[in-house]
Amino acid sequence: MAINYVKRATKTSATGEDDTRAIVNTMLKEIETGGEARALEYARQLDQFEGNVIVSEEDIERASNALSDRVKDDIRFSYDRVRGFAEAQRASMNEFEVELSEGLFAGQRLIPVDTAGCYVPGGRYAHIASAVMSVTTARVAGVPHVVVCSPPNKEHNGAHPAIIYTANLCGANTILNLGGVQGVAALTFGLFTGHAADIIVGPGNRFVAEAKRILFGRVGIDLFAGPTEILVIADDTADVEIVASDLIGQAEHGPDSPAWLVTTSQALAEAVIARAPDYIGRLPEPNRTAAENAWRDYGEVVVVDTREEAVEISDNYAPEHLEVHANDLDWWLDNLANYGSLFLGEETTVAYGDKCSGTNHILPTKGAARYTGGLSVGKFIKTVTWQRMSRDANRSVGVASSRISRLEGMEGHALTGDDRLAKYFPQESFELKPDNVS
């Protein structure tokens, strides 16, 4: 077994977390205390925004008129595929009732949350697709009220018109010109809408991600998220140019976006490293500087001997996006386990999933793919259980429950079973003491 790090990252996803946490904590406390007024102060201070927070019907119409028919057709192309995939997810989920033993019935219900808060980034980039991914999925899940927050900017005196148009198309009830920590706080506390979110979903910068992390528990969140990540697994059949393009394509997200390559080919590793500057150089600013810093500080290239080693390393990273450029794609599909979304073969790429191919692009980062998948219809639905039983079923369930309760030292629990047995079967006696544990 040989693992060779041809290029090592000098920073990790935890770099700078303490400073971010302190800033976000202060902001959240101030907004919770100061309410809408303090949120607006932050909007003026951080985004230089003085307009109306709530997007009006006139604003929506103006946003629609600002877009060409082709742009709107492209957005609907994405919407149709994301909705179709989400509908298939919902169809795969079922309520049921089962008789576990004679007279004992149990089941599950699928209940959508009442209010979903969808954060749609709009700072450096207008993340139109994030509105599609979050709002559409919530609506397919059956969520009755969806609130969207997106940062305003000077050029549009509000959120980006394409984001407003998309959020409305996908079914948002309310759209807020509000971003950052103040946007997340508004969703959590129900500011400006009176609808406090039951769950907040959507990607964002490190401040947005930290705000969601801090507020988790008071409100549900889709997942713990950090800067976007890509890991490419490649063998000697991979195209150097395509691999380099995909790595740098994701690195443009920001200066802290990890881009990892795991390959069984030393030649490919060296070639990708050699070609990366050219792919960075073809980007416009500020994308170029972001990608350059990300590749320098967070880029990593690993050479391994076998595909099994590649799987081991990839599963250890648990990347948000995982591409496989290698032979025998079904083998990789069967053996890889930890990832947010998997892209098999050269013909597909992260950008397709990010924008319009159908699967959701709101995905786990920072190793969270070890225990969770990305945003899905199920994130907006509570899977709750229920039970009922006949009196006769208490003969077995009541006795076992009482004995287990006493074995645990929980006499009050045991007595609730004893009392039912005494009521339903007054002429019968039961052995309600547990056997001694040796």
Lowest average pLDDT, out of 48-57, 76-85, 119-128, 272-281, goes to 119-128
Name the domain boundary from 373, 399, 429: 373
Residue-wise pLDDT tens digits, 112-135: 999 999 999 987 778 899 999 999
- Is the separation of the CB atoms in 392 and 378 below 8 Å? no
* Run of H or E residues at 200: strand 199-201
* Run of H or E residues at 84: helix 69-91
> Is the per-residue pLDDT at 22 higher than 70?
yes
The pLDDT of residue 437 is 66
- Is there a catalytic annotation at residue 321? yes
The pLDDT of residue 14 is 64
Residue-wise pLDDT tens digits, 246-276: 999 999 998 999 999 999 999 999 999 999 9
Report if residue 95 sits inside a domain. yes
Q: Which candidate in 127, 195, 321, 361 is catalytic?
A: 321
Q: Is the dihedral of CA 90, 351, 224, 174 positive or negative?
A: negative
Name the domain boundary from 222, 245, 269: 222
Average of per-residue pLDDT across 347-355: 95
Do 51 and 199 have their domain in common?
A: yes
CA distance 65 to 55: 15
| Number of domains composing the chain | 3
The pLDDT of residue 154 is 82
CATH number at residue 145: 3.40.50.1980
Report if residue 23 sits inside a domain. yes
Provide the residue range defining the domain that includes 136. 17-222
The pLDDT of residue 207 is 93
Average of per-residue pLDDT across 294-314: 96
Average of per-residue pLDDT across 299-310: 96
The pLDDT of residue 2 is 75
Do 86 and 212 have their domain in common?
A: yes
Report if residue 283 sits inside a domain. yes
Q: How confident is the model at residue 93 (pLDDT cuts 50, 70, 90)?
A: very high
More confident residue, 399 or 153: 399
Name the domain boundary from 186, 202, 222: 222
pTM value surpassing 0.85: yes
Q: How far is CA 93 from CA 102, 133, 361, in A?
A: 26, 19, 21
Q: How confident is the model at residue 16 (pLDDT cuts 50, 70, 90)?
A: low
- Is there a catalytic annotation at residue 320? yes
Q: Which candidate in 156, 320, 325, 361 is catalytic?
A: 320
